[in-house]
Each structure stands twice: as structure tokens, then as C-alpha cells.
Amino acid sequence: MANKIILLVEDNPSDIGLTQRAFARSHIANEMIVVEDGQEALDYLFCSEKYADRDQNELPALVLLDLKLPRVGGLEVLRQIRAEERTCRLPVVILTTSQEEQDVAQGYDLHANSYVRKPVDFTKFVEAVQHMGLYWLVLNETPPVKRGNG
């Protein structure tokens, strides 16, 4: 079985480092692709721009999606993921510091699989990552990729 890739969509360098350290500390060795804005996430997922040569049938096993992103916001990224047949089943965990109730509601309205608030405490974050990794990368069965006619 191929290594399950994690797509981290995060624009804050400190949060990127924190997430990478938390995954390493949790002994989650899956490859992590980091994109720093919503448009780059869409380019990666839909194999456009600098990702045009990427195999469109190789989707990440999990998308960790921040909401407050440059160029295209996280909720719009999620909307486009769910609107496309090939990516509509992709597991998306919103991983954000946002405490806004409307963000939680909109995330679930757009069919996010989970909404996790980033704790500031590193030890708690490592613990959350361990649980996320165990569930999404080990226990959860990855949905099959829908194949289009084109």
C-alpha cells in the first residue's frame, strides 16, 4: 500500500513548523505536502499550474485545512473540493485557531469531516495529532477516488 500523503494547507510558518514537529513527535512518518495558500491547495488537488504534471489519481489521504488563508479562503477551498467529483470524498479536517461559531457551522455545512481548534499548548497539540493520525491515517478506510469520464 502506498504511503498516505497528508496535505497541510497553512500560511503561518510557525503553525507549519508546529504541525510538522507534532507529527514527528507523534511518530507519524507520512509524507506531508505543505501549501501556503488556498489557491496553491486547489492547484495541487486539481493538478494545475506548477502541479500540472502531478498524477491526478494520487490524492492525499487527508487534508488539514486552515481557514484564514491568502488568495482563496479555507471555506472556499472546501467548497471546491466538495464540488468536484474526483475530490468530493476526500477527508478534510479543518485545523484552525478560529473560535468563530459561524466558521464551525459553515465548515460542517460544507461537509468537513472534522473541525479541530489548534490548541496553543504544544503538548496538547501533539496529543491531538496522535489521535488524528491514528484515526485518519491508520484506522480510517480511505475513500476510493471517483474516476471521471475524461
CA atoms within 13 A on the CB side of 99: 2
Residue 149 lies in a domain: no
Residue 146 lies in a domain: no
CATH of the domain at 96: 3.40.50.2300
> What length is written for the chain?
150
Residue among 134, 3, 111, 95 at smallest CA distance from 58: 3
Strand-pairing partners, residue 63, are 7, 92
Residue 79 lies in a domain: yes
Residue 17 lies in a domain: yes
Residue 118 lies in a domain: yes
Residue 85 lies in a domain: yes
For residue 107, what are the CA distances in angstroms to 7, 63, 73? 18, 13, 12
Residue 81 lies in a domain: yes
Residue type, 99: Q
Question: Tens of pLDDT along the chain (150 residues)?
Answer: 357 899 999 999 988 998 898 888 888 888 999 999 999 999 999 999 999 999 988 899 899 999 999 999 999 999 999 999 999 999 999 988 888 999 999 999 999 998 988 766 778 877 877 777 766 666 666 666 666 544
CA 76 to CA 78: how far, in whole Å? 5
Structural domain for 15, as ranges: 6-139
* Number of domains composing the chain: 1
> pTM (2 decimals)?
0.86
Residue 1 lies in a domain: no
